[in-house]
Structure 1
Amino acid sequence: MKAAVFTKTGPPNVIEVVDLPTPEPGECEVRIELGAASVNPIDTYIRSGAVPLPVQNPQIIGCDFAGTVTKVGSAVERFRPGDRVWGSNQTFFGRQGTFAEQIVVDEQWCNATPEGETDTEAAAGALVGITAHLGLHRTGQLQPGDSVFVNGGTGGVGSSVVQLAKATGAVVATTAGSPEKLERCRDLGADIAFDYRSHDLDEQIRAFLEQSERSGFDLWYETLRQPTLERTIGMMAEGGRIILMAGRDARPEFPLGSFYTQDLSIRGFAMFKASADEQRVCGEAINRLYEAGSWKPQIGTTMSLAEAAEAHRLQEANTLENEGTLSGKIVIVP
């Protein structure tokens, strides 16, 4: 079978497409004929060595997957051949990745794919959907009627936060960088979307809060790699929650006084450290939202397995260099 792998960490050109033996599932694993995989920033960090994790040699890249079960191990209980499944959290902690024609995955990381959802949609929504749900619900304790702010409402995580928060009954504010993207934010459910290039962005946000008769946001879901906590804290309601899930190298200034006098809290989390049970709760919730028409993963572009290195270059250009040329996920269709 064909697979995109690396044998040493480094830039995208360390990725090679090679022939590997078709894997056999272990007793708790399913073998999946891949329909689609997607690219995430964490994939590029693992490949580059920026995030040192145990890897195999060769290491198949990719966390997210969607496809059809072709074979199951002797102890598998939830799936059988022919079932369509999706999931994430591969590549981590020594597990092989997903950029291959056939993959084996422990059934605990798999979710049933809703009827009508394509493999490209399911793969595009895997990591970002679970991340958004974990941050909003397990970590952020989102309640109906809360006000939520998230930067980048057409990005992978941002668009997921907008949809999932709105489905919970929150008032959602977000940002984008073009008229087309601002309109897309509103289509996804945002109550208001601000142009982050505006010279008076903060004044516009505060005017929105005042018109909404709110003292600040109840939940701020931070997606930026360089957060400005002083600005964020100044826009929070008393008792508000700030969620951090990006910015490994960031060292922002922290206004302690205004933070504790407003009874605020900050929580950080890494999606890949959530247990399989925690992620399954998210997966089942996301499936229900898809079936209800409240969740549609955003696909920016599709590429082939042979273009895996170029897909990593495109992801890095938008994650690390802020090119703004991508809206939605990069999906690999083998």
Structure 2
Amino acid sequence: MKAAYIEETGPPQNIQYGDLPQPSPGPGQVLIKVAAAAINPVDTYIRNGANYWPLPQPFIIGCDAAGEVVEVGEGASRFQPGDRVWTTNQGLMGRQGVFAEYAAVDEDWVYAIPDGVDAETAAANALVGVTAHLGLSGRARLAENETLFLHGGSGGVGSMVLQMAKAVGARVMTTAGSEEKMAVCRELGADLVVNYKTDDVDAALQQFAPGGVNVFWETQREPNFEQIVSRMAERGRIVLMAGRDARPVFPVGPFYVKELSLLGVVMFKATAEEMRVSAEQMNAWMAAGKLRPQIGARMPLAEAAAAHQLQEENTLHQAGTLTGKIVLTP
């Protein structure tokens, strides 16, 4: 089978595209014929050498894919050949990735694709959607009529947070860096969108939520906690999902006096059951048309190296040439 893989970590040019043996499903696994795969920033970190666990050799890159079950391993009972499915959390924790024509995946990390939803949508929603749901529902417990502020509502995770917050009936203010991205946020339902490059975000936030926000979802790597805490409502929740090496100043006094909570969310640390809960809710929203991915580029799997380069330029270097996810097709 064709696959995108590396034999040693390093720059995007280390990604090879070629033939590898087609896997067979082991006990508790299903073999998926991949129809679409999606890139996440974490894929580029792992490929570049930020490895928190040993990698298989050769290592097939990629966390997210969708397709059709073609074979079922011993003991696997949740799916049958012909079922349309999506998966995430692959290429992590020492597991092989899914950027290939076929992928053998533990059925605990596999979910049905709802009727009327295509493979591209399921793949592009996968990791970012699970991350958003784990943070909003599992950690922050966002409720109807609460107010949420979100940095970057047109990005991969950001667009999921925005749509999920609206799906539960929250008021949402978000930021974007261009008119195009602001339009995307409005289309996804944001109540207020502010251009962080030209507008006074703090002043707009104060006007939008004079009593403070209930949930502050931070996507930036270097949070300004002085500003964040000052804009929180009593017993508000701050969600962090980035900034592994960040060491910002933290206003302890104002934080605890408001009885705030600071919550971290790391998708790949969720249990299979926690992720299944997220997947089931995502499936319901996808079937109802309430959870749509922002796909910024479509490329063939053979161009995985170029796709990683594009992702890295935008994630690490803020090139601004990508709005949403990159989807690859074998």
TM-score w.r.t. length of structure 2: 0.98
Confirm or deny that 1:266 pairs with 2:265.
no
Give the equivalent residue in structure 2 for 1:204: 204
Q: Within 5 A, what are the aligned runs for 1:241-256?
A: 241-256=237-252
Distance 2:249 2:321 in 1: 30
SS of residue in 2 equivalent to 1:152 = coil
SS of residue in 2 equivalent to 1:317 = helix
Partner AA of 1:113 in structure 2: I
Does the CA contact (< 8 Å) of 1:163 and 1:188 recur in 2?
A: yes
- Give the deviation of 1:51 after TM superposition: 3.5
Q: Within 5 A, what are the aligned runs for 1:91-110?
A: 91-110=91-110
Give the equivalent residue in structure 1 for 2:28: 28
1:213-272 per-residue CA deviation (whole Å, 9 max, x = no partner) reads xx1110011111121111111110010000111111111111111111111110112101
Distance 1:139 1:247 in 2: 18
Match of residue 217, structure 2, among 216, 221, 240: 221
Distance 2:141 2:156 in 1: 21
Does the CA contact (< 8 Å) of 2:131 and 2:265 recur in 1?
A: no
Give the equivalent residue in structure 2 for 1:131: 131
Distance 1:313 1:48 in 2: 11
- Give the deviation of 1:178 after TM superposition: 1.4
Give the equivalent residue in structure 1 for 2:317: 321
Does the CA contact (< 8 Å) of 2:173 and 2:208 recur in 1?
A: no
Distance 1:67 1:182 in 2: 32
- Give the deviation of 1:141 after TM superposition: 1.1
- Structure 1 unmatched runs, 5+: none
Partner AA of 2:117 in structure 1: E
- Give the deviation of 1:146 after TM superposition: 1.0
- Give the deviation of 1:52 after TM superposition: 2.8
Confirm or deny that 1:292 pairs with 2:266.
no
Match of residue 276, structure 1, among 238, 258, 272: 272
Partner AA of 1:222 in structure 2: E
SS of residue in 2 equivalent to 1:92 = coil
1:262-315 per-residue CA deviation (whole Å, 9 max, x = no partner) reads 111101121011011100100000010111221111111111111111111111
Give the equivalent residue in structure 1 for 2:84: 84
Does the CA contact (< 8 Å) of 1:54 and 1:92 recur in 2?
A: no
Distance 1:317 1:154 in 2: 17
Give the equivalent residue in structure 2 for 1:50: 50
Give the equivalent residue in structure 2 for 1:156: 156
Distance 1:50 1:198 in 2: 34
Distance 1:158 1:269 in 2: 14
- Give the deviation of 1:199 after TM superposition: 4.5
- Give the deviation of 1:49 after TM superposition: 1.0
Partner AA of 2:248 in structure 1: P
Give the equivalent residue in structure 1 for 2:146: 146
Query: How many residue pairs are counted as aligned between the two chains?
Result: 330
Does the CA contact (< 8 Å) of 1:33 and 1:103 recur in 2?
A: yes
Percent of aligned pairs sharing the same letter:
54
Give the equivalent residue in structure 2 for 1:15: 15
- Give the deviation of 1:129 after TM superposition: 0.4
Does the CA contact (< 8 Å) of 1:87 and 1:126 recur in 2?
A: yes
Distance 2:265 2:209 in 1: 27
1:78-123 per-residue CA deviation (whole Å, 9 max, x = no partner) reads 1000000002000112111010001100111001001111111110
Partner AA of 1:234 in structure 2: S
SS of residue in 2 equivalent to 1:252 = coil
SS of residue in 2 equivalent to 1:125 = helix
Distance 2:80 2:54 in 1: 30
Partner AA of 1:315 in structure 2: Q
SS of residue in 1 equivalent to 2:308 = helix
Give the equivalent residue in structure 1 for 2:235: 239
Distance 2:151 2:13 in 1: 31
Confirm or deny that 1:60 pairs with 2:60.
yes
- Give the deviation of 1:191 after TM superposition: 0.8
Does the CA contact (< 8 Å) of 1:220 and 1:243 recur in 2?
A: yes
SS of residue in 2 equivalent to 1:282 = helix
Confirm or deny that 1:38 pairs with 2:34.
no
Distance 1:51 1:96 in 2: 13
CA RMSD of the aligned region, Å?
Answer: 0.9
